[in-house]
Amino acid sequence: MRLGQDGDRREGDKQGRDRGADWNGDGDKQDGEQPHTALPASVADPGPPTPFPPKGGASPPLFPRFSRRRRRPDAGAGARGGWHRGCGGHCWGCGVTAGSRGAGGAGEAGSGAGTGGTWSARDWGCSGAREVPGVLGALGALGALGALGVLGALLALLPPPAPAETFSAMLSVRAALGAERRLLRRLRSYLRDESSRLRLLRRFYEKVQALHQDPDASVDNPLLAFSLIKRLHSDWPKVIYSDEATRNTQELHAGLREMEQELPGAEDLEGAAQALMRLQDVYALSVKGLASGVFQRDGQPPLYSPGRRAPLSADDCFHVGKVAYDTGDHYHSIAWLEEAVRLFRLSYGSWNLEDRSSLEDALDHLAFSYFMAGNISHALSLSREFLRYDPRNQRVSRNVAKYKKLLETGTGTGNRPLQRPNSTRLQSRDAYEELCQRPRAQAAPEQLLHLGCSYETNGSPFLLLQPAKKEMVRTQPHVALYHDFITDAEAETIKGLAGPWLQRSVVASGEKQQKAEYRISKSAWLKDTADPVVRALERRMAALTGLDLRPPYAEHLQVVNYGLGGHYEPHFDHATSTKSPLYRMKSGNRIATIMIYLSAVEAGGSTAFIYANFSVPVVKNAALFWWNLRRNGNGDGDTLHAGCPVLAGDKWVANKWIHEHGQEFRRPCSADPQD
C-alpha cells in the first residue's frame, strides 16, 4: 500500500493497523468505547452516575450515602437522595453541583439513569512552538495529588477547583508536593493555635471540675453561687462558641481557598486510578501485591523495589475500583473492590479521617459487579453481608429477594467469564504488553551479524573530534542507539526550558487534535533560538543524520514529560493518510525520527517496536534513531512503536521529526523499487 492511499487500520495491513500518523507526536487513532451492558430492570444498581437526569419522567435512582461511619438504617431507602461527599448539593434528579467530588451512588435499574458531576477539561492546546527565555519560568496550574488525605473533610468545604492535569506529567506530580507542604504548614499552624486554645480550655475544665468534686464548695456560699451563675451565663457560652476557635478554623479555610486552583480535580483522581489499572495490566501485577506496595508478577522477581513500601488503604482500593465501576469495567472493579472489602473487614470499627467510603459501600458495589459478571450467588452472599451492617436498607433487601428469585428460576445464573476491556481497541495489545515486560528481545540470527557498536562521524567535521557512539539495534527496521549523545547539563537545560510550557499532549483524530487515554504525557516545543544548548543540539543531530533539519524540513524540538503510569500505545510517527494534519507543513511525510532520553527511570518506560518484536529500555542521554519511510517513499510498517507505561520514575524525552522534503539528495531513492 502506498502512503496516503489508505488510512484504515485492518488486521494484516501493516500500513493501516493500530494507530496512524503521530502529528506533533500524536497518533491519529479513533478511540473506541466499550458498549455499556444493559441491566435487568429488576435489580438495583449502585451506580454509575451520568451527567444527565433521567429521561421520560422516570424516577431518579437512589444513591447510597458514602460515610466514614456505619450507614444509617434507612440509608438508600425511600425517595431520599444521597450526597456525594464534598458535593455542594444533591447528586440526583436535577444534576450535580459542578465540581462535586467523591464516589457515585446506587440506583435502581429500570427507574432511570443516575446523575453525577464532573468538571469539564480545560483546553490546554498549544498553538505552536514557544521561543522561551533561557531560565525556568514559574510553574502554573499544578495540582496537589496527595492533598486529599488528612484534609479530605476540610476540602469538602471548598468551591470546586479547576482541573489541574496533575496526573499527566510527573513534573506536575512533583510540584504537587510543594502544594501539600504548604497545606502541612497551614495545618501545623492550625494545630499550634488550637493546642494553645485547648490548654486554656483544659484549665477551665479542671477548675470547674475541682469545684464540683470539693465537698466544701457549697452554693450556700454566696460567692460560689455568684460564680456559678456567672459561669453559666457568660463563661460557658464563650467556651462553646469560642471566637478563637472560629478564627483558627477560618484561617485554615482561607489558606485552603488560596490554593484551590492547585488542587487536583476529578479528572486527576480518575487518571491516577486508571494509571494503577494500566500498570496492573501491562506488567501483569496482582492487585493484592499493589495494595501492599509490591510490584511483582507471580513467580518473578520484583520489577521495582521502592526504598519505602507505600501500601494502599481500603479507601484507596475502593476509589480505584469505583473508577472502573463507573465505566462499566467490572473486570477491574471486582479485583479492586475485593481488596477494598478485605481491608475494610480488617479495620472495621475503626475510624480514619481520610476515609471517604466504608465497608458497606465496597460490599454494595462489589455485589453489583458480581451480578453484572453473572455470578448471582456471590452477589447474594455479599448483599446479605451488607444487611448485617445495615439491616433496614430497603434497596439492598429488594436486591436480595431478586437474587434469590433469579437463582430459583435459573435465570441469569451463567457465570460469564470476565473479559478485560480494550477501550482503545488496540489490536496488538498482547504483543505490546509482552515487549514491555521483557525489554530488549533477542534479535533473529540472520540479523546478529549486522549488529554491533562503532564510532561514527558520518563524514561530518563536526563529529571528528568526538565521534558518536553508535549501537546498531536492528537492521529491519533500521534502528540505532547513540550513547552519550547529550550531557547531563544539556538534558537539565532542555527540561528546564520546556517545564513552564508543558501542556497535555494531544493526538490527531482525522483533521483535529484531542486528548486521548492512550497517550498520557505533557509536551512543549522549543525553537533552536530558545537557547544555545538547543541550537547546538540541532547542529549535532544534523551532523549525525546528514539530513537538513532547517524549518520547514524538520519540526521544532518536542520535549515530553510522561505522567503517572505515562505511556503512548502503538502508533506510527509517519502519516498513514493524506488527511493527516502533518501535511499542513507542506514538507511531505516524516522520513525519520530522533528520540533523545533526557532522564533515566527506575522501571518501565521502554520503547517497544511491535511488529519488529523488540524493545529498547530507557538509556539516559542516549538518542534513538530510525527511518519511518522506505527509500521508495512508502511508510515502513515495522516502525509501529509504543512508549511502555512508566512503572516508576520520571521519564523525559525530546523528539525530532524530520520530513522528506529537502532530503532528496541526502537520502536519494534507491534503484530497487521495493527498497
Question: Where is pLDDT greater, at 410 or 651?
Answer: 651
pLDDT at 140 over 80: no
State the pLDDT confidence band at 441, using cuts at 50, 70 and 90. Answer: low
Of the listed ranges 114-128, 168-182, 648-662, the one predicted with least confidence: 114-128
| pLDDT tens, position by position, 7-19 | 333 333 333 334 4
- AA letter at 546: G
Nearest to 318 by CA among 349, 289, 358, 280: 358
Q: By mean pLDDT, which of 109-113, 247-251, 304-308 is the weakest?
A: 109-113
pLDDT exceeds 70 at position 642: yes
For the segment 627-647, the average pLDDT, to the nearest whole number, is 94
Q: Mind giving me the DSSP string for 128-143? A: S-B---SS-----S--
Across the range 280-304, mean pLDDT stands at 91
What's the rounded mean pLDDT across residues 280-287? 95
* CB neighbour list of residue 293: distance below 8 Å, 6 or more residues apart: 306, 309, 310, 311, 312
Question: In the predicted model, is pLDDT for residue 191 greater than 70?
Answer: yes
Query: In the predicted model, what is the mean pLDDT of residues 560-565?
Result: 95
**Confidence category of residue 60, pLDDT binned at 50, 70, 90:** very low
Instruction: Write down the pTM of the prediction.
Output: 0.75
Angle at the Cα of 163 from the Cα atoms of 308 and 581, rounded to 5 degrees: 105
pLDDT at 446: 62
* pLDDT over 60 (residue 386): yes
Question: What's the CA dihedral at 311, 313, 314, 315 to 10 degrees?
Answer: -140
Report the pLDDT averaged over residues 93-118.
Answer: 33
pLDDT of 583 reads 83
Check pLDDT > 90 for residue 145.
no
Q: What is the DSSP letter of 629?
A: B
- Per-residue pLDDT at 412: 62
What's residue 84's pLDDT?
Answer: 34
pLDDT band at 423 (very low <50, low <70, confident <90, very high): low
In this prediction, residue 282 has a pLDDT band, given cuts at 50, 70 and 90, of: very high
Least confident residue range of 111-125, 224-238, 524-538, 612-626:
111-125
How far apart CA 245 and CA 251 sit, in angstroms, is 10
Q: What is the pLDDT of residue 239?
A: 87
Checking if the pLDDT of 528 tops 90, the result is yes
Interval 617-632 mean pLDDT: 96
Residue ranges with strand state E in 405-528: 453-456, 468-474, 479-483, 503-504, 507-509, 512-514, 521-526
Across 552-575, average pLDDT: 95
Decide which of 102 and 517 is more confident. Answer: 517
So what's the pLDDT on residue 136?
29
pLDDT at 46: 58
Write down the pLDDT at residue 354.
73
pLDDT of residue 584: 82
For 305-326, the pLDDT digits (tens) are 888 889 999 999 999 999 999 9
Beta carbons of 656 and 557 less than 8 angstroms apart: yes
Look at residues 323, 334, 411 and name the one whose alpha carbon lies nearest to residue 370: 334
Give the mean pLDDT of 385-390.
Answer: 94
Q: What is the mean pLDDT of residues 617-641?
A: 95
Q: Which three-class secondary structure state does DSSP give residue 658?
A: strand
Identify which has the larger pLDDT, 339 or 102: 339
Q: Report pLDDT for 452.
A: 87
Question: What would the grid cell of residue 641 be?
Answer: 512503536
Closest CA to 187 of 142, 166, 179: 179
Determine the pLDDT at residue 61: 30
How does residue 58 score in pLDDT terms, banded at 50, 70 and 90? Answer: very low
User: What pLDDT sits at residue 245?
Assistant: 87
Q: What is the predicted pLDDT for the residue at 422?
A: 80
Looking at the DSSP assignment, which residues form a beta bridge with residue 648? Answer: 603
Q: What is the pLDDT of residues 256-274, one digit of tens each?
A: 888 888 888 888 999 999 9
Distance CA 279, CA 553 (A): 38
**Cα 285 to Cα 501: distance, rounded to the nearest angstrom:** 34
Average per-residue pLDDT for the chain? 77
Neighbouring residues of 473: CB distance < 8 A, sequence distance ≥ 6: 451, 479, 480, 481, 614, 616, 624
